[in-house]
Chain A
Amino acid sequence: MLKLGLAIVTGLLGAALLHFIIILSLPYFSEKDAYTRVLAEGERHSFHRLPDIRDRAGLVQDDPFVELSVCAYDISQGPIRIYARGDVPFWSLGIYDAGSNEVFSINDRTASNGVLDVVLATPVQLTLLRKALPEPISEAILVETQQADGYMVLRTMVPQRSFNAAATEFLSQAVCAPFDWRPRQQF
C-alpha cells in the first residue's frame, strides 16, 4: 500500500514536471503560432489581405469592422520600409518578432501627418543608415530590432460599408519591402 502511494506521488511529481516542460518549450516547437501562419500566407515582403473565412494558413479577419493584412519580413540582408497612406478613419500597425513578441506599434494619430512611414532595421544597419540617411527615408520613423525575422499586421477600420473602397485601396497599396539603402559607390 505504501509502495502504491509512493508510485502515485512519483507520478504526480512527474506530471507537474512534464507540465512545466511542455509549457516552457511549446513556443519553440509550435507549428500553429502566428509567425508560421503568416509565412504560410505567401512570400515575404508583401502584404497579404486576410479573408473573412479562415484560410488554409489558419488566419482570418475575425472582426467584421477591421480589415487586416499581414506581411512577413527578414531584415538580415537589409532593412525594409513600410509605407502606406490613405483616407481611412483608423489604421494601426503592429510589428512582431518571430516569437510573436511586440517590437513596435503605431497608429494613424501617433504617426506624423497620418502617413505610415517606418523603416525597420538591425542595430548595425541603423548605424549605417543614420550616417547616410538617404533622401527618401529622411522623414521615416527608424525602428531598431534585434531579431532579423518576424511579421507585421496592418489593420484598418471599416465602420460602414461605404468605407470599404478606401480600406481596400489603403491595404492594397501598402508596401513592406527592402529598399535601396546603401549609398551608391563612387568610382
Chain B
Amino acid sequence: MFRVPFLVAIALAIAFGGGIWSTLRALEATAGFGAIRLGAWEAFPNAQTAAADPYAKSHRASAGALLYATAEGLQFTANVDDSGAALRGDCSYRISGHTPPTRLWTLHSVRTETMRKAEDAGLPVALNSRAILRHADGSFEIEVSADAKPGNWLAVPGDRRLRLRLTLLDTPAAGSSGLIDLSMPSIQQTGCRDA
C-alpha cells in the first residue's frame, strides 16, 4: 500500500543525492574543459575568459582564485609524474628540460601551512628562472625532495601528496591554441624513502 510513495521517495533521493554529489565531484575533479596537457603538466589558458565553458565558470565561481590573465602568464599544475603515478612527498623527483618560451617563471609546490614553516626555516621551497643553475644550452635539472640535494633543490613537505605549480610569466604560450610547439620539463621519479 506504500508502494507508490516509496517509489517516489527513491526517485527523489537519487535525483537530489546524485545531482548534488555529481556536481561536487565535477567541481572538485577538474577546472573545466579546454585544458592543455604537456606531459604531466596541465594548464587552462581560457579559464579566465568569457569564452570559458560552464564547468570552468562554475569552478572559478566556487574556488574564487585570482586567475592569470592572458598578458600576465599561464599556470601549469602537475599532480603526477611522467609515468602517471601520483606525486608523493616521500619520494624524490627530477624535473629536467626546458620551459616554453617565457620571460620569467616560478616553480613551487602548492602552499600549505607546513610549507610556510619551512620557508621561515630558510629552505628553498620555491625556485624561479633567475635563481637556478643551468646547463650551457639553457636547460636545467631540479631535484624535488624533502631531503637536501646538490644543485637546484626544491624542498617539499615530506608527508603528503604533492602538487607542483609552474607559473610562466609573460609567455606567448598563454595566447596560443597549440600553434607553437610547447615543450615542458619532464618529471621523473628518482627514488622513494623507505616507509
Which residue on chain B has the smallest CB distance to residue A6?
A: B7
Interface size of B as a range: 35 or more
Question: What DSSP secondary structure best describes chain A's contact surface?
Answer: mixed
In the complex, whether A132 has a CB less than 8 A from a CB of chain B is: no
Report how far A27 CA is from B32 CA in the complex, Å. 14
Judging by beta carbons under 8 Å apart, are A4 and B72 in contact? Answer: no
0 or 1 for each of A86-115: is its CB under 8 Å from B? (1 = yes): 000110111110011110111101100000
In the complex, whether B37 has a CB less than 8 A from a CB of chain A is: no
- Interface residue ranges of A54-111 to B (CB < 8 Å): 58-60, 62-66, 68, 70, 89-90, 92-96, 99-102, 104-107, 109-110
Which residues of the other chain, A, contact B63 by a CB distance below 8 angstroms?
32
Residues of A within 8 A of B (CB): 3-4, 6-8, 10-19, 21-24, 26-27, 30, 32-34, 36-37, 52-53, 58-60, 62-66, 68, 70, 89-90, 92-96, 99-102, 104-107, 109-110, 153, 155, 157, 159-160
Residues of B within 8 A of A (CB): 3, 7-8, 10-20, 22-23, 26, 48-50, 52, 54-55, 57-58, 60-73, 103-104, 106, 108, 110-111, 116, 119, 125-126, 128-131, 165, 167, 169-170
- Enumerate 20 A-B pairs (CB-CB under 8 Å) in ascending A order: A4-B7, A7-B11, A8-B11, A10-B11, A11-B11, A14-B19, A15-B22, A22-B58, A33-B64, A63-B106, A64-B125, A68-B66, A94-B72, A100-B48, A100-B57, A100-B67, A107-B71, A107-B72, A159-B131, A160-B131
